[in-house]
Chain A
Amino acid sequence: MKAVRELAITVRVNGERHELTVAPSELLIDCLRDRLGLLGVKKSCDVQVCGACTVLLDGRPVSACTVPAFETRGRTLRTIEGLADGEALHPVQEAFVEHGALQCGFCTPGMIMATVALLAENPSPTADEVKHYMRGNICRCTGYQRILEAILDAGRRLAAAPR
C-alpha cells in the first residue's frame, strides 16, 4: 500500500456539497476559513482548550484547530454560518442575544455551536449538566452567568419550536 499526499474528499458544509482536494496535514480550521470563507470559526488557543473553533461534525462538537480536514470526508459539517434561516436567527442565537450572553463575541460562535450539540443530546439539561458540558468553552468577558441563562432558555425555546 502507498502513502497519499493528497485526498479528494466530499463534504457537506452547512447543507452545501463541496468537493475538495486536501493534504493530510491541512487542518480543518484553515480549510474552513481560508478556502470556504467561513470566518465564524475562530482560532484562539489553537490547542483544543478554549472552544472558539467548535464546529459540528455529524452533529458532534470537535475543535477545528486540531482535526485534519480529511476527517470530514463523506460527513456533514455545521458551522455558525449554517444556523440562521436567512434573517431569522436560530433559537440558540436568539437566546444568546436576548440574554446579553456575549461581550466581545469572539467565543460566541463556539459557545453557540457547543450549545446546539448539547441540546441535541440533552434537550432539557440542568444547570450542572450545562456547566459540565460547556467546561471546555472559555469566555474571558462575561463571567458565564448570562451564557448559562441563555443556554437554559435556549433549551426551552427549542422544546417549544424544535428545528
Chain B
Amino acid sequence: MNSFALYEPTSVAEASEILARHGDTARLYAGGTELLLAMKEGLIRYDYLVNVKTIPGLTGLRLDADGALRIGAATPHRALEREPAVRERFPLVARVESDVANVRVREVGTLGGNLCFAEPHSDPATLLQIFDARVRCETARGSREIALGELFVGSFETCLGEDELLTEIVVPPLPARSAAAYRKFGVLERPSVGVAVAVALDDGHVADARIAVGCVGPIPQRMPAAEALLRGRGVDEASANLGEAGRRAARAAEAVSDLHGAADYKEHLVGVLLRRAFDEALATLGAGPRR
C-alpha cells in the first residue's frame, strides 16, 4: 500500500473542506474494508485519507418519532445486526446485515462506507431501497436528502460531490400490513444476485409492491416496471404475473457477466429469487397464493 497522510477531522464541515482542498488525492476512510483492499492491491492510491470515525455523531443509530431508523454513516454492520432496536423494528435489516461478508468485515465495515464505495455487489444497497430509504449528504455549505437509489450512478460511482459526505441513512418503516423478504445467491464472498421485495396487502389485494435488484448490473435499483405488474392486483393475479415481472426486472437490471456469474444466468436468477422473495413475504402475512 502506498504511504499516505491522515486527517482526523472533528466535524463534517472540516472534513468537507479537506476534501475540497485536496480533490482527487483525498478519500474518506471509515472501516476501510473495501478501500484498503483496493489500495493494498495498488488499484487506487490516495495521498490523504480522511478518517470520518473521529467526527462525533456519525456513529450510532436511533429510532425517530415516526418510527424511522436513523443510522449514522460510520455505524458498523455489526451494530445493525445486533442492536435491539433494529432486531425488533427492522428484523429483515438485522438478518440481512448478519449475512454480510464475515464477522470481521462486519465489525469494521460501515454502512455508509459500503454505500459510498458503490461496489455493485452489496446487500444493504439493494435491501434498503424497498424501505424507501433516504441518505443525508452534507458539505461545509449545506445539506440535502436524496433517495438511496439516486446515490448510485454507476459501478463504484455515486452522485456525491467532491466535497460532499454521506452522513446519515434514514430507513422509514414499511406501510401497515406489509412484509418484506430478501433473497440472494452467490458462491463467493459477495452475492451474485440479490432481490428484495416488500408487499403490502389490503383485503386480498396487493396495495403496494416494491422490488429492488442488486449485484446483477452496475447499480442496485428499484424496478418500477416489474412493480407495476403486482401493485393493485389480487394476490393470485400478482402471483401469476411474477414470471413477466422477473423478466422485466432482469432486463432493467442491465446484467453484466463477471466473476460472479454470466449475464444470462444472473437474469434467470432474478426471476427465481423474485418469486421466492414474493412468496416469503406473502407467507409472512399469512396470505400465500393459491396455486
- Which of B4, B98, B102, B107 makes the CB contact (< 8 A) with A25? B4
Contacts of A74 on B, CB cut-off 8 Å? none
Q: Which of A23, A24, A60, A117 has the largest number of chain B CB atoms within 10 A? A: A24
The answer on a CB contact under 8 Å between B9 and A61 is no
Contacts of A133 on B, CB cut-off 8 Å? 103
Give CA–CA (A37, B98) in the complex, Å: 34
**Given A1-B7, A136-B102, 16 more pairs with CB closer than 8 A:** A1-B14, A24-B4, A24-B5, A27-B1, A48-B101, A48-B105, A51-B104, A57-B107, A60-B78, A61-B104, A66-B32, A66-B33, A66-B40, A70-B6, A133-B103, A136-B104
Does chain B have a CB within 8 A of A63? yes
Does chain B have a CB within 8 A of A46? yes
State how many angstroms separate the Cβ of B65 from the closest Cβ of chain A. 32
Q: Which of A81-127 contact B (CB under 8 A)?
A: 114, 117
The answer on a CB contact under 8 Å between A25 and B1 is yes
Nearest A residue to B6 by beta-carbon distance?
A24
The answer on a CB contact under 8 Å between A3 and B48 is yes
Interface residues on B, range: 20 to 34
Contacts of A27 on B, CB cut-off 8 Å? 1
- With contacts A5-B5, A25-B3, A135-B102 taken as known, whether A62 is within 8 angstroms of B36 at the C-beta atoms is no
The answer on a CB contact under 8 Å between B40 and A48 is no
Does chain A have a CB within 8 A of B174? no
- Which of B3, B18, B98, B107 makes the CB contact (< 8 A) with A23? B3
The answer on a CB contact under 8 Å between A136 and B6 is no
Contacts of A47 on B, CB cut-off 8 Å? 37, 40
Contacts of B32 on A, CB cut-off 8 Å? 66-68
The answer on a CB contact under 8 Å between A25 and B2 is yes
Nearest A residue to B109 by beta-carbon distance?
A48
Contacts of A5 on B, CB cut-off 8 Å? 3, 5-6
State how many angstroms separate the Cβ of B123 from the closest Cβ of chain A. 14
Listed by A's residue number, 12 A-B pairs whose Cβ atoms lie within 8 Å are A1-B14, A3-B5, A3-B48, A5-B5, A24-B5, A48-B101, A48-B105, A60-B78, A62-B108, A68-B36, A70-B6, A132-B98
Contacts of B5 on A, CB cut-off 8 Å? 3-5, 24
Q: Chain B 1-42, CB within 8 Å of chain A: the 1/0 string?
A: 111111111000010001000000000000011001100100
